[in-house]
Structure 1
Amino acid sequence: MNSGSLINLAWRSAWNRRFTLALTICSIALSTFMLLGVERVRTDLRSSFSSAVSGTDLIVGARTGSVQLMLYAVFHIGAATNNIRWTSIQAIERMRGVDWVVPLSLGDSHQGFPVLGTAQAYFEHFRYGEQQSLLLHHGHRFSDLYEAVIGAEVADQLGYRIGQRIALAHGTGDVSLIGDHSDKPFTVVGILARTGTPVDCTVHISLESMEAIHVDWMAGAPLPGMHISAEEARKMDLQPKSVTAAMVGLHNRASVFSVQRQVNNFSSEPLMSILPGVALDELWDVVGAGERALLLMSALIALVSMAGLMSVVLAGLNERRRELAVLRAVGASAYQILLLLTLEGTLLTITGMTLGITALSGCILVLAPWLQAAFGLTLHLTAPASMQAWMLCALLLSGWLASLLPGWRAYHLSLADGLSPRI
């Protein structure tokens, strides 16, 4: 019996049990889908996470840890150890190699969402993902002193629309224990398109607006007996005296370490600058433990699928004793019987893997735009990376090993055992 006949026989035998084996194929396809899908999401999620701020060369803040600076400057979590003087921002702008500087001022909130005071340059230079710029879904950028541009998540959760009047609160959190700025209300004039980054959960105002709501405050508290109205604040000098942090863009990325060294050695006040990509990788090492749990879960699903393949072949082996005995009687050797069953298991595994890969590719093509819009996760339909290729090889090897035990069992079945009638 040659190899071609053996393959044809394995296919016909499997086809006769197609309804039972279809369940096994679906199980293998699901495990392939989960394994490769989780790995693809893990890889692209890390890539999206690392590019939450992709167009910025340096982030500058008061001296602290790089992860802490990244947390409050980009993710608006936590608080700065100190502010940066405005004169220092101006000095950084004049440094050789610096193209642009976007100051960031934090510390206030609106119903739990952080408020970011910044300049118009923020909308021009901020990039995320694959160098994507911020887009307005509705409205326009702030231009008046008491205008605000909100992120997509703020608009969705609070039900805000263009023209909505909002009041900001001092400090972070859902409830301000110090006080609010309800005497200086803002009007929502723009809603940003969803990015899947912290921008979605942020209320954006100008630096001058941030100064205006604090003109009658000092040391984080309102001045007793002093009140400056919204209109009176318009007439005051609202040039900021300090900011929380700044994003810096360079003319040439080759000068990044030179500029970083200048900032870190700044003589007027202690500053530090970090490379966003490096700091985000450090942050991912802290918060990315869940990816390994997902990978382990997928591996367990694959193990269950292979166990299902083994159990199906073993369960059907008792019913196929007569079939196998007839094959032995017409000249098939015990080795060929072993090869037949392992070949069937391998074919089932390849079929299931092909189905799983096809399903995953289709899902990426269909769901990628929605995932980008809803979660900011950019999935790429690419050839399997090295990790995914190893997973496919491991899955194929597992399918072959799962079919080896039933084949070995059939190898030891005697000819008489299969041909003798059962009593």
Structure 2
Amino acid sequence: MLTLSVKSLWNRKFVVFLTVLSIALSTALILGVDRLRNEAREGFANSASGLDLIVAPRGNDVQILLATVFGVGSTGAGISWDSFEMFESNPAVSWAVPIMMGDNHRGFPVIGTSETYFEHFLHTGGKPLEFAQGAAFQGKESAVLGAEVAERFDYSPGSVVVNAHGAGSVAFDVHDEAPFVVTGVLERTGTAVDRMVFVPMEGFDALHDQKEDAQADPFAASSETNVMQSDHEAHDDHEANHHGHEPEKINAIFLGLHSKTSVLALQRLVASYPVEPLSAVMPNVALLSLWSVTGTAETALQIMAFAVALVGVAGMVVMLTASLEARRREFAILRSVGATPFAIFRMIVLEALLVALAGVVLGFVLMSAAIALAAPVLGANYGIYLELSLPSVHEILLAGALLLGSVLASLAPAIRVYRMTLSDGLTMRI
């Protein structure tokens, strides 16, 4: 019966090909939407996987997460350096990284920070940042680039970058009088870090120095002079070694804790901090809030994908049903050589299974081709990095559900054939 089914399908190859293509497109859409959704969520989660708390001026948790971790938008008024030192010295805190924002480089966010960022920031389940080229900051005029920024503009160590004030692609004031020299390029992480430019806090501050005597060169004072200027610098010699510069204000603080169990106590401490209004955001909780916002759109995409799949299966049923009348002579001949009505019933179901199986396999191929073509565009424009990989268990289950649905849908024309062969016997109706 398998041989007969294959030969029968081949005899109607054009219509069968269209049906297979319809199911393949449905499969590719379902699996593509599911993989895109999962990769987007995984990319978001990986970007903040090494953070226990984000301290920022009081505001919405999701907004703070997007601004500080993903470089989308901005936070409120700055946090004083004294507050940073207070939280860094808390016994529950293992490490603290200062974050400054507000500039961009050709649409990519510029982050002012210290070298501790590259030492402590973790991604993708605890992986540290690594350098593909060069090294971390080597002076206040240096810059470290994410992999996507370096690839987009063909930057490498020694390249000169000029930043501008403003978020996103908006540039209110181009700081062409104070360029930065690239000293390092990070390995690709598949997270928002790939789309960021990192500069030392001293260099970031110098760009926004409003003193009248800082005219053509905002880097007029050397870091060595600043360190030796006063007793205040000597008092914070330990901090200078770790952070290199003490700005008056920063935008956020990334915190890593000795124990995860102390996160709620520290969050309450930040919320009740009397010096200035602050928020302490747990990245995982903020991500859940973000998913609740985007959940409706995800559900709509899934419904659309399953609707297309339903149309593909319906097309297969129509193809099988429409061919029944033309195949009555074929069924009569099969009966004459000993085939039972149930055997012919099984042949129709088998044909449906073969068509659906071919469609699912072709769907996986089409999805892989689409990922190969779309991955560079999605990575460059949206920060979503898709990789070719073997089907996951979830994807196999989705494909299995589509196959099962196709088989169940084929029961209608198969039952009709069963009744038809019972009533026809060996006599053809003309």
For residues 347 and 181 of structure 1, what CA distance do their matches in structure 2 show? 64
Percent of aligned pairs sharing the same letter = 37
d(CA) in 2 for partners of 1:282, 1:379 = 29
Q: How far is 1:129 from its partner?
A: 2.1
**What TM-score do you get using the length of structure 2 for normalisation?**
0.80
CA 94–255 in structure 1, closer or farther in 2 if over 3 Å, else same:
same
Task: Report the counterpart of residue 229 of structure 1 in structure 2.
Answer: 217
Aligned to 1:100, which of 95, 98, 108? 95
Q: Which deviates the most, 140-149 or 397-406?
A: 397-406
Map of 1:395-406 to 2, 5 A cutoff?
395-406=402-413
Compared with structure 1, are the counterparts of its residues 351 and 159 closer, same or farther at alpha carbon in structure 2 (3 Å cutoff)? closer
1:384 maps to 393
The AA in structure 1 aligned to 2:76 is T
Partner of 2:10: 18
Distance in 2 between residues matched to 1:115 and 1:417, nearest whole Å: 80
Amino acid at match of 2:314: A
Q: Deviations over 1:182-229 (max 9, x none)?
A: 3332211222233333222222111121222233x1xxxxx5676373
Alignment check: 8 A CA contact 1:372 1:378 kept: no
Measure, in 1, the Cα distance between the counterparts of 2:120 and 2:11: 58
Whether contact under 8 Å (1:25, 1:348) holds in the other structure is yes
Match of 2:178 among 169, 176, 184: 184
Q: Which amino acid aligns with 1:384?
A: V
Residue in structure 2 matched with residue 120 of structure 1 by the alignment: 115
Report what 1:55 is aligned to: 50
CA contact (8 A) 2:28 2:367 kept: no
1:338 and 1:408 in contact (8 A); partners too? yes
Partner SS, residue 189 of structure 1: strand
Q: CA deviation at 1:393?
A: 5.2
AA at the equivalent of 1:106: M
Residue identity in the other structure for 2:393: P
Give the residue type in structure 2 aligned to 1:191: V
**Equivalent position SS for 2:402:** helix
Contact residue 142 and residue 189 of structure 1 kept, 8 A: yes
2:314 aligned to 293, 297, 307, which one?
Answer: 307
Whole-angstrom distance in 2 between the partners of 1:256 and 1:141: 30
Superposition misfits of 4+ residues, deviation over 6 angstroms = 360-367, 369-374
Alpha carbons of structure 1 residues 161 and 61: separation in structure 2 relative to 1, 3 Å? same
- SS at structure 2 position matched to 1:108: strand
Correspondence for 1:266:
273
The 8 Å contact of residues 45 and 378 in structure 1, kept in 2 or not, is answered as: no
What letter matches 1:48 in structure 2?
A: G
CA RMSD of aligned residues (A): 3.5
Find the residue that maps to 1:239 and give its secondary structure.
Answer: coil
Query: What is the one-letter code of the residue matched to 2:94?
Result: D
Residues 174 and 320 of structure 1: is their aligned pair in 2 closer, same or farther, counting only changes over 3 Å?
Answer: closer
Between the two proteins, the alignment pairs up a number of residues equal to 404
Indicate the residue corresponding to 1:156 in structure 2.
Answer: 151
Question: Match of 2:56, SS?
Answer: strand
- List runs of 5+ in structure 2 lacking aligned partners: 228-244
SS at match of 1:205: strand
Q: Does 1:207 align with 2:201?
A: yes
Change (3 A) 1:110 1:330: closer
Residues in 1 aligned to 2:156 and 2:371: alpha-carbon distance in whole angstroms: 32
Aligned to 2:131: 136
- Residues 343-377 of structure 1: per-residue CA shift (max 9 Å, x gap): 43245435654x3587599889999x999987444
> Post-superposition shift, 1:10?
4.8
Structure 1 position 194 matched with structure 2 position 197: no
Give the match's secondary structure for 1:51: helix
Aligned counterparts of 1:337 and 1:109: Cα–Cα separation in 2 = 68
Corresponding residue of 1:3: none
> Structure 1: any 5+ residue segments left out of the alignment?
1-8, 218-222
Cα offset for 1:410?
2.2
Q: TM-score, normalized by length of structure 1?
A: 0.82
* Farther-moved stretch of structure 1 (242-251 vs 112-121): 112-121
Instruction: Go from structure 1 to structure 2 and tell me whether the alpha carbon gap of 1:303 and 1:55 turns closer, same or farther (over 3 Å shift).
Output: same
1:284 aligns with 2:291: yes
1:148/1:187 contact within 8 Å kept = yes
Paired with 2:388 and 2:264, the residues of 1 have a C-alpha distance of 32
Match of 1:255 in 2: 262
Other-structure match for 2:233: none
- Cα-to-partner distance string for 1:26-53 (whole Å, 9 max, x where unaligned): 5545534443343233223312222212
Q: Check the 8 A contact 1:196/1:376 in 2, yes or no.
A: yes
Kindly state the Cα deviation for residue 175 of structure 1 after the two structures are TM-superposed.
5.1
Residues 418 and 130 of structure 1: CA distance in aligned 2, closer, same or farther (over 3 Å): farther
Q: Which moved more, 1:224-233 or 1:109-118?
A: 224-233
Question: Residue 10 of structure 1 contacts residue 341 of structure 1 at CA under 8 Å; is this kept in 2?
Answer: no
**Aligned-partner residue type, residue 38 of structure 1:** V
Deviations 1:28-85 (A, max 9, x none): 4553444334323322331222221211111111111101111211122222221111
Give, in angstroms, the shift of residue 25 of structure 1: 4.6
Residue deviations 1:323-358 (CA, integer Å, cap 9, x gap):
2223445665545544442343245435654x3587
The CA deviation string for residues 66-120 of structure 1, in whole angstroms up to 9 with x for no partner, is: 0111121112222222111111111111212210001101112233322211011
User: Paired residue for 1:419, among 419, 422, 427?
Assistant: 427
Aligned match of 1:166 in 153, 161, 165? 161
Corresponding residue to 1:67 among 45, 62, 66: 62
Listed one character per residue, the Cα deviations across residues 298-320 of structure 1 (whole Å, up to 9, x for unaligned) are: 32332232123223322332332
